[in-house]
Amino acid sequence: MAWQAVDRIHPVIDKDAPQILSDAVREKIRSFFPRYETKRAALLPALHVVQDALGHVNHQAMKEIAEVLEIPPSDVLDTMSFYTHFWDHAKGEKVVVVCRSLSCQLMGSDAVLQAAREELKIEEHGTTPDGKYSLVTEECLAACDHAPCVLVNEKMHKRVKPDQISKLLKDAKNDEITFPRSSLFDKPAKKATADPADLPRTSDVREMKES
Amino acid sequence: MAKYEPVLLKNVGVEGVRNLKVYRERGGYAAAEKALKNHTPAQIVEIVKESGLRGRGGAGFPAGVKWSFLPEKRQVTYLCVNADESEPGTFCNRVLMEEDPHQLLEGIIISAYATQTTTAYIYMRVEFHEQFHILQTALDEAYAAGLFGKNLFGTGYNLECFIHRGAGAYVCGEETGLIESLEGKRGWPRIKPPFPAIEGLFRRPTVVNNVETLCCVPHIIERGAAWFKSIGTEGSSGPKLYTISGPVKRPGCYEAPLGITCRDLIFGDDYGQGMIDGRKVKGCIPGGLSVGVLTESELDCKLDFDEVRKYGLLGLGTAGAIVIPQDADIREVLANVARFYSHESCGQCTQCREGTNWMYKIAMRIALGAGRIADLDLICEVTRKMGMMPGLSICGLPDGAAYPIRTIVEKFRDEFEQHIRRQEPGRVEQVLKRLNPAIYELPIIGQRGSHTYHRAG
């Protein structure tokens, strides 16, 4: 087994790379400023806005968020790495979240997760090769009365049976919520940007060679 | 006993009650108007104190007393509404926000007026997508009707209210963790004192209240403290939302006066209506995962703030019951509970960060069929060495981890021992070797694997 180490020699961000946050996104982030006493408090909304627009928040986006909020980029990384909701590498268009907490487990979430794994042919935290789906598990989704539950992007699917998974994942409208949306946060981007800079996290880990 | 008339859930199932117009037709915002026009803030604090309303978020701290801790002279006060409901088995806040968003907003107006709050933040967990859109729509509607903003009800009182979305962290339900998260930092709970009432959000006096607590406030103002006190038991007054999940016939959220028994909740006609497929109850976690477990013989425990402690539980918690059926493997249950806390520990305090992981490893070992009798004592010992009660941690999360794990192991010890005795011989070594091959290749000195270099001769 070759030793793998995080590459700290080469810079993570290309200094000459063009901006990836559009003016509209920046304006949206700024619209949260009047709500709070400090600009840093708008960080969580900003991360939501960027993740909704780009699909994930990479290092370049973190740096640009830091510029807008006037805080060090390391603070953005510090906060972002704490929360499980944010992705620092490309995720699928739709994220399938299977609840694995006690109520759901007692009602059979293990079988649901297994069915989803087989249907998508990926492991937990994996993304399908066509970039359509990512599969994750999470602790309680607060829908224990409808256990076992599965969240597809914004839509909660209740009392899911393992044999319904196949149909559910083939349905193109499985992430549409029935309630009127508020315009405060956008829908997660349909097409996640496929930028070469957005390689998965493993690209930061390079094999160290003797050279 | 006469049929209980729901208070908090009275609007559930009413067509279009999410709209302001329908809510107002049903007497909505009358309490807010009454509070702001007829009472001074101090009077409302007194009324709430007198009603004996205790916080519904888990700790059961009297809400009125919490409000009275605010310093006399203050420019800015914040009210944080804790809608970060992530305790497994609990979903009453979700129901309240989903079915009757304006009730919460009315509660916020009155509580904010009582504490002279300038800005209220609703900290909502990000997994509540539908609920966010419902509440945000309701809030926009209330703003448009002049219920928020400047000069409320012509009294000259100004109040802003915003929804702040979290990002998936259990520990942000702890009040100082929530405040840190609102400030755009990691959700690491703060060392107390100073308590949030003195120095909270942006270092200003802050009140943090649960959604359900605030939903009780309009009803107290409307019907008076004496009415509120007449419901429930001595020391635990008022209606409470009980939630029940697991293999029962009618899982869901039910309203009852504080002090119904756990057996009622599972088998009562108005509540769970018994188990599906004639399954039997092995145990029940009565108040959200963190409080601990009741065995079948202890189901007659009254669920109020004080009674549950007699059964070795942490407290009432959030009154979210999870029923464990007889055919569930108790080892799997233990592993699931331990995994939850090892996943959600924020990593600030050593004994919680390491202890929850140790417990998870031990629980996994037992679940994989490689347990030892000594593991049961070991896991109980770990639970006694962590948490706020021995005074070792910043927040209550490790207590919440210790209680369920300890009560599961202690109350179902016979069952664990049976499982362990039935394990095939050699299984322990086999599993441990797979989990950690390194220690089995160490030289044996004095019958133990040793890390010291072994020199032949």
Q: What is the ipTM of this complex?
A: 0.88
Are A142 and B125 inside 8 Å of each other by CB? yes
**Cα–Cα distance for residue pair A39/A71, rounded to 1 Å:** 8
Indicate whether A197 belongs to any domain: no
Give chain B's mean pLDDT.
88
Closest CA to B102 of B159, B143, B61: B143
Which residues touch A169 (CB under 8 Å, ≥6 apart)?
A96, A116, A119, A120, A133
Structurally, chain A folds into a number of domains equal to 2
Closest-CA distance of chain A to residue B125, Å: 9
Closest-CA distance of chain B to residue A101, Å: 6
Could you say which of B134, B204, B243 has the minimum Cβ distance to residue A144? B243
Helices (H), chain A: 23-30, 43-54, 59-69, 73-80, 102-106, 109-120, 165-170
Do residue A63 and residue A99 come from a single domain?
Answer: no
Are B167 and A106 inside 8 Å of each other by CB? no
From B246, which residue of chain A is nearest by alpha-carbon distance? A103
Indicate whether A5 belongs to any domain: no
Domain of A51, in residue numbers: 18-85
**Cα–Cα distance for residue pair B417/B422, rounded to 1 Å:** 9
**Cα–Cα distance for residue pair A20/A23, rounded to 1 Å:** 9
Last residue of a domain, one of A85, A118, A142: A85
Do residue A99 and residue A36 come from a single domain?
Answer: no
pLDDT of residue B120: 94
**Cα–Cα distance for residue pair B404/B359, rounded to 1 Å:** 12
Contact present, B364 and B431 (Cβ < 8 Å): no
Residue B8 has pLDDT above 70, yes or no: yes
Are B134 and A179 inside 8 Å of each other by CB? yes
Mean pLDDT computed over A25-42: 93
Residue B1 has pLDDT above 50, yes or no: no
**Which CATH number belongs to the domain containing residue A151 in this structure?**
3.40.30.10
From B135, which residue of chain A is nearest by alpha-carbon distance? A182
Which residues touch B352 (CB under 8 Å, ≥6 apart)?
B345, B346, B386, B387, B393, B397, B398, B401
> Tens of pLDDT along B212-254?
999 999 999 999 899 988 888 877 888 889 999 999 999 999 9
Residue A22 has pLDDT above 70, yes or no: yes
> Tens of pLDDT along B298-312?
999 888 888 888 888
Indicate whether A74 belongs to any domain: yes
- B130 chain-A contacts, CB cut-off 8 A: 154-156, 177-179
**Which CATH number belongs to the domain containing residue A55 in this structure?**
1.10.10.1590
Could you say which of B136, B185, B253 has the minimum Cβ distance to residue A145? B253
Of the pLDDT bands very low, low, confident and very high (cuts 50, 70, 90), residue A191 is low
Indicate whether A28 belongs to any domain: yes
Query: Domain segments of chain B: what residues?
Result: 20-230, 233-325, 332-437
Are B164 and A144 inside 8 Å of each other by CB? no
Do residue A22 and residue A80 come from a single domain?
Answer: yes
> Tens of pLDDT along A60-86?
999 999 999 999 999 999 999 999 999
From A138, which residue of chain B is nearest by alpha-carbon distance? B168
Extract the runs of DSSP E, i.e. beta strands, from B258-333.
281-285, 294-295, 320-325
Closest-CA distance of chain B to residue A182, Å: 5
Could you say which of A100, A106, A180 has the minimum Cβ distance to residue B325? A106
**CATH fold for the domain made of B233-325:** Ubiquitin-like (UB roll) (3.10.20)
Are A85 and B168 inside 8 Å of each other by CB? yes
CATH architecture designation of domain B20-230: 3-Layer(aba) Sandwich (3.40)
**CATH fold for the domain made of B332-437:** de novo design (two linked rop proteins) (1.20.1440)
From B242, which residue of chain A is nearest by alpha-carbon distance? A145
Are B88 and A139 inside 8 Å of each other by CB? yes
